[in-house]
Structure 1
């Protein structure tokens, strides 16, 4: 695969959405700390205050009571690498060429030309730490410490990318993932140990939490800090510590979420002990919807349709909670459109950091967060999967474009760690009123031809800017790439 090299400067002249509005208020002083926590494959309905059943999340529910619950919050794509690229850059994955889910030894990653939230905050004087799953390339030049993080402890990619089956049997016995190398647990740029068993995986959440707390305790007395905690769970295979096994009615998945809930609580407690809770912006979310064919090892997005790997609401809409004492009113809820691409410009504005030099897609939501009764500056959203534009949203209306997708509906899910089947679903042009029909069950395209026409114009704008299928958009940039020998780069 070859790419045409295009500079960021060229894109700064067109299609630029500023990370800060021209009339943005003065930055908050002293600059707030930032804690960004997200999980892997946690569904929209997998938090108590979002409708979870069979397990409780008291600390996440309390976080929502103390802050803002975002009910229409979207990821850029319903897959690991794409979603994480957007969280860290404020861009649709298709703008920066980082799509799909990179495997071990991938020759692709985040380009050096892209500026991450960590780089912008470090320039502002923040200490920066990344704890958990990275998944934006595992070659040295793609790792967190090359993209603005002072330190990193975690996995370079998904926890199922190892030579072990989901039930813990090694590759020699199961034949699962024969081409995958051992799963490395890394610190900085080096492997410190191998994750070889489900018991090793069961310790990840606890170890990530301890490392996050240690960073808070070390950094709080020194000045502002940015902590990004990206849990490997609840992605399969589920790693459940002995303390939480069998503790929920839901089963293994519920046990994992209960442990993550405690992790969030311990991080919040660490902020309180350090005396910085009242000047720390905390965000909790997920990278995409649930992997539904794993049954009791998967979550739920109900009443939303489908799950991970689709452009239906269950794949792209995820839970999100934001707490910022003194800035965001407690106990508030917004059902207006917002997205992971908006986190970078929102946090940049709150912290007084500069905007990225390259064009981004996010807009600051800080004013909306401060007063959720005001309109969100985000009114449209483009649903991509890999390189394909599959749907567009404008306000309450969502138009699906013709595409095939991986469907989980009306199929028996797996059980006991093994996946059930999926089917190939197909949709033609279909219009849904997400305000009246969030589950996307009633196609009303025939009743609203003018709305369909307007959304088709938005789809054309998306294609022109970010491309569609094999066609590259005028605003598309290249991913980072290394040669086969790992030495050359462009």
Structure 2
């Protein structure tokens, strides 16, 4: 198996000079960190006692920690499409997770948050997992980013997959790209966290603040399986492999903040930290944790509710815990408001919620949120975040099976749920169906689902 350690010095020396743009006075730098399959409880500040996350805990203590942030669909590609475009993934034609056989991706005519910011003079850089199409027209440098280093889809889409069917379906290696150029093909991921962290730090180090603000999007491939840690990067936590992987991601947050401070950029940088969906529970001790029902690939809270921390000195109140009802589709219109940029001339599903993201206010949303799984609109969250209506659907669950160990997943079972209404404030575990007690709420949320479903059909 080929490691990427020999590439680190070369890759970190290949930074490009800052673009020549007019200085954008007072506009903040923006660092958006998005992990993969990280559970709601995989941070100490969110109650995680199975991990050690001092840098994320400090970020939450000095910024705002959100309790009610959701993704639009609990899987890789769809979740990222919503984050990048401000649209439900179904609106932009992306559902589920693209693999190496996909011929399409995020259409070039869609407008990404990077394109919105770049038009306002931002230098834009991406590091990590893209997963919105692996052919050149769909890659980050053709979607508003000045530079890119990372892999184009999930790193479990390779021949070393633990399941036999996947070993022949996927290629032997995963491509590592700089911009649109193939740098290497990877089959060993032990240094992936380290590579991403150090590349992100290098981007910041080479950024010239006089040339305009920086937008850095760091999308970690992990803790998505296969888990891999670098013994030469950090000392083991003593809490197991999953905790060690989380520790590497946490260390990167510290390294980024240290570099921002050294560059004199920290006081004017907004950091946003979140995850693409909840934990992939079928992987047992190689998966994260959530206090909610179910996990990745479902529309229950365990799949769609994820951690969110925002931090901007002098703008986000330190130590605040916000119950603002927010979704990834709100990121683009909110950042557009932050930099006084016009919204894309397209239909967006998200809304401008800047004050909510900064912890100044806490909603409600202008309208309910729809939650899809693939083409199926399965649930609706009320605008105030109090109620959630599940429409009848089938879903994957572990049931009463013993948890998986050692990286080999157990097989999901299929179950179903009928029309069900839950009070998320009192019952975040979605256990007590209140549909019979609140027919008016069921009626209103059902009506929204019909309208939205017809619009996105």
Conserved? CA contact 1:334–1:372, under 8 Å: no
Conserved? CA contact 1:68–1:328, under 8 Å: yes
Conserved? CA contact 1:246–1:252, under 8 Å: no
1:216-365 to 2 correspondences below 5 Å: 216-221=204-209, 222-243=211-232, 247-302=236-291, 304-365=292-353
Q: Cα distance 1:367–1:176, how it changes in 2: closer, same or farther (>3 A)?
A: closer
Measured in 2, the distance between the counterparts of 1:84 and 1:52 equals 25
- Matched with 2:178 is 187
Measured in 1, the distance between the counterparts of 2:358 and 2:75 equals 30
Conserved? CA contact 1:105–1:138, under 8 Å: no
Structure 1: stretches of 5+ with no match in the other structure: 1-27, 168-173, 467-471, 473-490
Query: Is structure 2 residue 203 aligned with structure 1 residue 215?
Result: yes
Measured in 2, the distance between the counterparts of 1:376 and 1:66 equals 24
Q: Cα distance 1:340–1:192, how it changes in 2: closer, same or farther (>3 A)?
A: same
Query: Is structure 2 residue 73 aligned with structure 1 residue 77?
Result: yes
Q: Alignment RMSD, CA only? A: 1.6
Measured in 2, the distance between the counterparts of 1:410 and 1:459 equals 32
Measured in 2, the distance between the counterparts of 1:120 and 1:386 equals 27
Measured in 2, the distance between the counterparts of 1:275 and 1:183 equals 37
CA deviations 1:295-326 (Å, max 9, x no partner) are 11000111x00000000000000000001112
Normalising by the residue count of structure 1, what TM-score does the alignment of the two structures yield? 0.85
CA deviations 1:37-77 (Å, max 9, x no partner) are 01000011111111112222110011011111111000010
Structure 2: stretches of 5+ with no match in the other structure: 1-23
Measured in 1, the distance between the counterparts of 2:365 and 2:359 equals 12
Query: Is structure 2 residue 49 aligned with structure 1 residue 53?
Result: yes
The list of structure 1 runs, each at least 4 consecutive aligned residues, that deviate by more than 4 angstroms after superposition, is: 243-246
CA deviations 1:80-105 (Å, max 9, x no partner) are 00000111111110111111100103
CA deviations 1:191-216 (Å, max 9, x no partner) are 1111123xxx0101101111111111
Comparing 115-124 with 429-438, greater Cα deviation is found at: 115-124
SS in 1 for 2:283: helix
Measured in 1, the distance between the counterparts of 2:51 and 2:237 equals 5
- Matched with 2:450 is 460
Q: Cα distance 1:268–1:220, how it changes in 2: closer, same or farther (>3 A)?
A: farther
How many residue pairs end up in the alignment?
430
Higher relative contact order (CA 8 A, sep 6+): 1
